[in-house]
């Protein structure tokens, strides 16, 4: 077991220039593997909707979905920091943010993430006031921009808004900010202007940390986003295993001898005798 990552560790890691490694996670066995692999922040993203639940977008994800998956992931995490998304519609007011943030904390979240910049300033202040660590998320924000072109901040006026939003989140007390799909040069300016860490996804090489969606990096999908590196081809591995299993069952190759349970001859003889006497009794 390594050292438990604390909420304060994120800012320390930025100061020490230690890259922060974040990965989405939706279930307990994957959480155990991520934890053992030394992932710093295991993150129950609302991308659980598309990646696990078969939803078309993050707007369908409910608090009950997030609580269910947070509890599962929490059972698998020992050392990593557990960050959880507040889903769409769960933080429209500061009161709602705190009420739902506390439910996520109760399920195991150590930090909650929410989307938006200046418009969620009051929610961040309220969450921090309630003792809940908060990470912001700006740039491309899937909960409200789904269907729009993913790149954001490549126009000067948008880039200024990204910086202003990041600074507003920091001032409100956020302890980090996710930057999604913005030009590397904008991410660089934001990263140098903030004392809290930036976590990039499609934001280039300069952020204080990186986050990837576990399904993307494992290669579940044939056409990954431009900003994804696939570290495995789980799609082919899983499909190959399913095809082989079906073929073995159909051809009688599975189960094989070594998969059987045996019984002592004495017990087998007694079993047969009892069956015979039962059969005789019912014939009498």
The residues annotated as belonging to the active site are: 180
231-270: contacts with ligand KIV (CB under 6 A): none
Choose which of 111, 120, 213, 218 interacts with ligand KIV (CB under 6 A).
Answer: 213
Rounded to 5°, the CA angle 34-39-42 comes to 70
Cα–Cα distances in Å, from 19 out to 59, 78, 119, 189?
Answer: 31, 20, 29, 17
Among 35, 85, 110, 165, binds ligand KIV (CB under 6 A): 85
201 belongs to the binding site for ligand KIV (CB under 6 A)? yes
* Residue 194 touching ligand KIV (CB under 6 A): no
Binding of ligand KIV by 46 (CB under 6 A): yes
Of the candidates 9, 30, 34, 47, which one interacts with ligand KIV according to CB under 6 A?
Answer: 47
Which of 84, 104, 135, 178 forms a contact with ligand KIV (CB under 6 A)? 178
Return the number of other C-beta atoms located less than 10 Å from residue 187's C-beta. Answer: 27
Residues 87-116 that bind ligand KIV (CB under 6 A): none
| Shortest Cβ 24–ligand KIV spacing (Å) | 5
Residue nearest ligand KIV by beta-carbon distance? 45
Report the nearest approach of ligand KIV to the CB of residue 110 (Å).
Answer: 16
Contact between 143 and ligand KIV by CB under 6 A: the answer reads: no
Query: Which residues of this chain interact with ligand KIV, rule CB under 6 A?
Result: 24, 45-47, 85, 137, 178, 180, 201, 211, 213
């Amino acid at each position: 077991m390594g050292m438990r990552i604390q909420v304060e560790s994120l800012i320390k890691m930025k100061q020490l220039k230690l890259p922060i490694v974040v990965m989405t996670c939706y279930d307990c066995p994957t959480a155990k593997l991520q934890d053992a692999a030394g992932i710093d922040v295991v993150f129950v993203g609302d991308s659980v909707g598309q990646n696990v639940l078969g939803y078309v977008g993050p707007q369908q994800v409910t608090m009950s979905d997030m609580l269910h998956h947070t509890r599962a992931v929490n059972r698998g995490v020992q050392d990593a920091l557990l960050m959880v998304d507040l889903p769409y519609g769960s933080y429209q007011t500061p009161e709602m943010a705190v009420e739902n943030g506390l439910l996520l904390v109760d399920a195991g979240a150590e930090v909650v993430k929410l989307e938006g910049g200046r418009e969620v300033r009051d929610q961040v202040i309220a969450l921090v006031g309630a003792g809940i660590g908060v990470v912001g998320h700006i740039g491309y924000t899937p909960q409200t921009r789904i269907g729009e072109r993913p790149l954001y901040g490549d126009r000067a006026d948008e880039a200024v808004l990204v910086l202003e939003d990041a600074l507003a989140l920091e001032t409100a007390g956020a302890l980090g900010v996710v930057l999604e799909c913005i030009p590397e040069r904008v991410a660089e300016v934001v990263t140098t202007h903030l004392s809290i860490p930036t976590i990039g996804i499609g934001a280039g090489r300069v952020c204080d940390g990186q986050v990837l969606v576990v399904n993307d990096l494992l290669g579940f999908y044939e056409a990954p986003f431009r900003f994804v590196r696939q570290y495995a081809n789980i799609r082919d591995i899983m499909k190959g295993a399913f095809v082989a299993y079906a073929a073995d069952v159909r051809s009688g190759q599975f189960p094989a001898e070594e998969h059987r349970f045996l019984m002592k001859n004495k017990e087998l003889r007694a079993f047969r005798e009892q069956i015979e006497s039962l059969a005789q009794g019912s014939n009498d």
